[in-house]
Structure 1
Amino acid sequence: MAKKPWIGTNWKMNKTFAEADEFTRILSGSDFAVSDNVQLFAIPSFPAISRVAEALKNTKVLVGAQNIHWEDEGQFTGEVSPVQAKDAGARIALIGHSERREMFGETDETVSLKAAAAVKHGLVALICIGDTRDEFDAGRTGEVLKRQTEIALSRIDWSQSGATVVVAYEPVWSIGTRGTPAEPAFVEEKHGEIKHLFQSSLGRDLSLLYGGSVNPQNAVDLATRPGIDGLFIGRSAWNADGLVSIVRDVTDALA
């Protein structure tokens, strides 16, 4: 049986309402929006969550929030709780993105708190892990991924009904405008190591996505390799036509 990949994109701090509307118009009109062969997701910035969720309500596309706080409510100016994110229409909480870690002080511990909060409230916890260029150059990739993975999953209550956690490996040195695409063979190797961590730490498998300069040229090679359960795409999928094109190529290759 062909695997059902997760494929989606994080809009970061981009798109006006008009641009969000155009994206959802194209995506909702695609056959893939209601397909059982792929799990699509889109993660807009907070102001657009409700709008995007409403536009995609008759599809199987999951809408996400780019961050959540670990508390349900309180005096945390500028933060959004998992309760509020879910109420706005989010079904995924993106946690621990490298930009949150680097620019806003996200730590392994806060990632674990947020992941647990997401699962508690029935959100899919999409947890990002990744090594920096310095860590990669120093040969510390395996050590870093082990630490981040084990701490991120340490507070999850797996007895929660429907608890769903998805992990995305995004090498920090491979994302952004100056990112260097990782070799698919390297990604496959690291995914194998992370999958082993899931089994040794949890005794279960989790869906493991790859993100880091994913583009139309490397998407199929990545998505068809063992241990790579989907793609977390950046700028190549900010245009809905670009996302749909990659999804078509990947699902055709997996069929």
Structure 2
Amino acid sequence: MTVWVGTSWKMNKTLAEARQYTSELLEGLDRLELGTVQPFIIPPATALSAVAGALVDDGRVLLGAQNAHWEDNGAWTGEVSVPQVADAGAQLVEIGHSERREHFRETDQTVRRKVAAVLRHGLTPLLCIGEPAEVREAGGSSDFILGQAARALEGLSAPELSRVLIAYEPVWAIGAAGRPAAPEELRSSFAALAGSFGQHTAGLLYGGSVAEDNAAALLGIPHVDGLFIGRAAWEADGYLRLLETAAATAGTPAAGRLSPDTNESAEEVGTK
């Protein structure tokens, strides 16, 4: 089973910083045995082509884009299309993050269109879903995230759905003000996702205040196939240590230990 471990840099890093991170990451990976762990990084759009050459040539780390429009081209000022991010080197596309839903008014309809566009061009969609605190407190987490996923994946064939990654990121657990979730708080949500989508998709990831001290426990939750990490992986050495933890948790001991100062049927199933 593939264990997906990735990070989005959000609106951070200059071109020089992106190149330095990539260099440190690839150097650090030379000292690790990843086994079944699949790393991926998602830089800002400005840095995609700057790091693509090194990553694609190396082949160990997938490269993603933080967003892409559902149309291939046109009068969409300020947007980038799936063909454009693919041309810059992207292999997957993050879609529907809660910050985009909140601040840029993305809807389930636009998220669905973006998922379809990413699949149409042969890239991997990383669909983000997650409930706000008030929904959790009311006991509606599972219904909320299942509804989000179903609306985003509506109409996809089984082969298309099998190429989708789902990242469950509770809104109350993400960002600088997020509260780290205890594993027992996440079990029912992952059980619900697994029941509807687990065997049909490429993987179910967890994101939300992931750090070195809780990564192993989060990966131990039934049905969790990987981690989507924020600020804990914004420095290459932190990301490398999280990859090491994931490799060990997946039963593949890391070949080298990183020291603390290392810089290292086309059946319609989408409405389930």
1:7 and 2:5 matched: yes
**Change in 2 beyond 3 A, CA 1:210/1:32:** farther
User: Does the 8 A contact of 1:46 with 1:65 survive in 2?
Assistant: yes
Deviations 1:11-46 (A, max 9, x none): 000001111111101111113788442110000000
Deviations 1:145-199 (A, max 9, x none): 1110101111434456x96110000000000111001111222321111111216
For 1:220, the equivalent position in structure 2 comes to: 216
For 1:129, the equivalent position in structure 2 comes to: 129
For 2:65, the equivalent position in structure 1 comes to: 65
User: Does the 8 A contact of 1:224 with 1:254 survive in 2?
Assistant: no
**Structure 2 counterpart of 1:140, one-letter code:** G
User: Does the 8 A contact of 1:116 with 1:155 survive in 2?
Assistant: no
For 1:22, the equivalent position in structure 2 comes to: 20
CA distance in 1, matches of 2:143, 2:71: 30
1:1-255 map, 5 Å: 3-29=1-27, 30-31=29-30, 35-57=34-56, 58-159=58-159, 164-198=163-197, 204-255=200-251
CA distance in 2, matches of 1:158, 1:148: 18
User: Does the 8 A contact of 1:236 with 1:243 survive in 2?
Assistant: yes
How many residue pairs align between the two structures? 249
**Change in 2 beyond 3 A, CA 1:89/1:34:** farther
**Structure 2 counterpart of 1:239, one-letter code:** E
CA distance in 2, matches of 1:204, 1:172: 25
SS at match of 1:56: helix
| CA displacement at 1:130 relative to structure 2 | 0.2
| CA displacement at 1:54 relative to structure 2 | 1.2
User: Does the 8 A contact of 1:129 with 1:148 survive in 2?
Assistant: yes
User: Does the 8 A contact of 2:7 with 2:229 survive in 1?
Assistant: yes
Taking structure 1 as the reference length, the TM-score comes to 0.92
Taking structure 2 as the reference length, the TM-score comes to 0.87
User: Does the 8 A contact of 1:34 with 1:60 survive in 2?
Assistant: no
CA distance in 1, matches of 2:246, 2:193: 22
Unaligned stretches of 5+ in structure 2? 252-272
Identity %: 45
CA distance in 1, matches of 2:250, 2:33: 17
SS at match of 2:63: strand
CA distance in 1, matches of 2:248, 2:33: 16
| CA displacement at 1:204 relative to structure 2 | 2.2
**Change in 2 beyond 3 A, CA 1:157/1:84:** farther
